[in-house]
Amino acid sequence: LKPELSEELKKSETPELDFTNFKQISGPLGSNPGGKYQDPNTGNIFYVKIQDKNRGDNEALASALYKEAGIDALEVKKGLMRSKQVTYTDWKTTPLTSVAERINNGVDPNDPAFDGFAIDAWLGNWDVVGTGYDNLSYDKDGNPVRIDSGGSLLYRARGERKGSAFGNEVGELETFKDKKNTTGQLFSNMSPEAERKSVEKLRAITPEKIDELVDKFISDPADNKELKEKLKARREFILNKYPESEEKTPETANDEFDLPIPPRTDEENESIELYQSPSYYRLAKYMADPTNGTITEEQKAKFDKAIPHLKKVTTSEELPEGTKLYRGTIARRDSELRAQLMQLKPGDEVISSDIFTSTSLDPEVAEGFAILDQNNKDSNTNSAVIFEIKTEKGATGSPIEPDGTVYDREKEVILPIAAKFTVSEVFEDADGTLRIRVKYGKKQFLPEWPEEQYKSDGVTDVTFASPQERDDVYKYFKDARLSKPTEDLLDELINREDQ
């Protein structure tokens, strides 16, 4: 053990109470010997478990880890009875409501008990709900209290060691949501947002803190070593499964990022100014369909001059690695588009349309674009879609000075035509907003016009893995057009501009 922790260990090994002369007022309330005991002098009541030392140490450690994570669980302390170690908890005299009542009446997707899900899984607390639904209760204010940590870590609730069933991989992340188990009756109702939020409780517990607490509570050398290794490995497993929760989204990215504007030619600046102006909507319409009859010849001439410069800057100006960008849009809940987006899974690729992709450094700006539909207030009708884009090394795009944008303080960044994104996570939050987290890296864009013209526009380093890939790319852009709802939205915005 670490020398600096030796005093803490001695303190944790010192029993706080001797129950030999306490009055037993109940038999065991679970699967282990013990019961309620009352102090004859103070009248205070405790629940005592009579179990061997190593198992008691294991339960005390689990209780301490819950406490470290900020999860309300009864604190397990060490005591004596007839010169043998026992464990005990203070008996709750305030009324508690069993989790069974919530399960029977319907569990809210963001029930506060879900805050402890990742910790329950990490500790392998198989008995967190209990076979009688009596190991998790709520106080009068609705706050959850975990009653029994005995089924955590190396031991099952009845006292047998788990062995390899408590390993480095955390299968409990899935089995705890299986309705065939008592835990699943609760956790199967959990929203994806609540599940990810629970991981932050675990992230806050460092490997160093794990070592410290194991040293404090576990004196058996073999158990000490096993628990240190497994707890750190299981923590890493969970954090790897929820990688995007590692970084919290700031309330606003305006203060988080202030991207420098690269030096540009006069022609490039003029093209960006055109993109920033109210003419953007007609530019988008023209790029989607160059034969569109609503675009005048004068406008076509301006657009034809600007587009090559926009292509060049968006594919050559490199963005800082780790930049977080946001894009808000609308997909009706009953639409085919939303159904397709909901089916995306990690590793899938999403290619933007054959116009430039406008994003913002400020998530609130994206939220604003996603709630143009007034029906978005209700989670059952919310049509909002938010793309959360994280740049990798070599990703390109063009930041724009905020003062020139159509919308004040938009903090806009333009991405290339046909930007290609790799999906990390897809979920609906508590408000019904569909959130799609993606990564965007080096050369993740595709040419939508012949390679000869691409070269003539000054970009020469786009290659295809095979002739088939090139044919597939050209076919994609031949077939791809703006969806009808998006066309209607552009028409509406253009009409507003005309008025």
Q: Which domains does the chain have, with CATH numbers?
A: 1-246 (no CATH), 266-498 (3.90.176.10)
The conformation of residue 75, written as its DSSP 8-state character, comes to P
Bridge partner residues of 77 (DSSP): 88
What's the half-sphere exposure (Cβ side, CA atoms, 13 Å) at 345?
Answer: 1
- Max Cα distance, the chain (Å): 99
Token pair for 262? 């690269």
| CB-count burial class (<10 Å; 0-12, 13-18, 19+) for 97 | middle
Pair type for strands 34-38 and 45-49 = antiparallel
Residue with tokens 């960008």: 325
Give the length of the chain: 499
Give yes or no for a contact between 276 and 405, defined as CB atoms under 8 angstroms apart.
Answer: yes
Token pair for 483? 């969806």
Sign of the torsion formed by the C-alpha atoms of 318, 320, 321 and 324: negative
Helices (H), 264-386: 266-276, 280-288, 297-316, 336-342, 363-370
Q: Tens-digit pLDDT profile for the chain (499 aa)? A: 333 334 444 444 555 788 888 888 888 777 778 888 888 888 888 888 888 889 889 999 999 999 999 998 888 888 888 878 888 888 876 678 889 999 998 888 889 999 999 999 999 999 999 888 988 999 888 889 998 888 899 998 888 899 999 999 999 999 999 999 999 999 999 988 889 889 989 988 999 999 999 999 999 999 999 999 999 999 999 998 887 544 444 443 334 556 888 899 999 999 988 888 777 778 887 887 777 767 888 888 999 999 999 989 998 899 998 899 999 888 888 888 888 888 888 888 887 766 788 898 988 888 877 765 444 455 567 788 999 999 988 899 999 875 444 444 568 899 988 788 888 888 888 778 889 999 998 765 544 444 433 333 333 334 444 555 545 544 444 444 334 444 555 555 555 544 4
Residue with tokens 């194991």: 214
Residue (of 109, 115, 113, 119) closest to 133 by Cα position: 113
What's the half-sphere exposure (Cβ side, CA atoms, 13 Å) at 86?
Answer: 22
Interatomic CA distance for residues 325 and 398, integer angstroms: 12
Residue (of 184, 182, 115) closest to 143 by Cα position: 115
For the entire predicted model, the pTM comes to 0.49
Give yes or no for a contact between 181 and 99, defined as CB atoms under 8 angstroms apart.
Answer: no
